[in-house]
């Protein structure tokens, strides 16, 4: 589960034969870590074979109630 983060350019996701799941949440108005960082993270993980559930929220650099609900539902 990745929330409001970024992928460092020097790090590469290792290919995985098991297709692990990942949840990426990011606010479209994030002024600290721009939304484009989440898009890049999604592409890096998908390229490595991960099953990525990507969700954008009308939010800044925060965890709001809508995100918490999405995390709970994903974990179930």
Residue-level pLDDT at 29: 97
Whether 16 shows a pLDDT value over 80: the answer reads: no
Query: Domain residues of the chain, as ranges?
Result: 17-75
Higher pLDDT, 28 or 16: 28
Residue-level pLDDT at 19: 83
Task: Kindly state the percentage of the chain with pLDDT values over 70.
Answer: 99
User: What is the pTM for the complete model shown?
Assistant: 0.87
Q: Is 72 exposed, middle or buried (0-12, 13-18, 19+ CB in 10 A)?
A: exposed
Query: Do 53 and 19 touch, CB atoms closer than 8 A?
Result: no
Give the model confidence (pLDDT) of 45-59 as tens digits: 888 888 999 999 999
């Amino acid at each position: 589960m990745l929330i409001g983060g970024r992928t460092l350019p020097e790090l590469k996701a290792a290919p995985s034969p098991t297709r692990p799941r990942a949840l990426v949440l990011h606010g479209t108005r994030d002024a600290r870590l721009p939304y484009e960082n989440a898009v890049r993270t999604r592409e890096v993980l998908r390229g490595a074979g991960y099953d990525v559930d990507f969700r954008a929220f009308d939010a800044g650099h925060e965890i709001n109630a809508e995100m918490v609900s999405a995390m709970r539902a994903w974990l179930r």
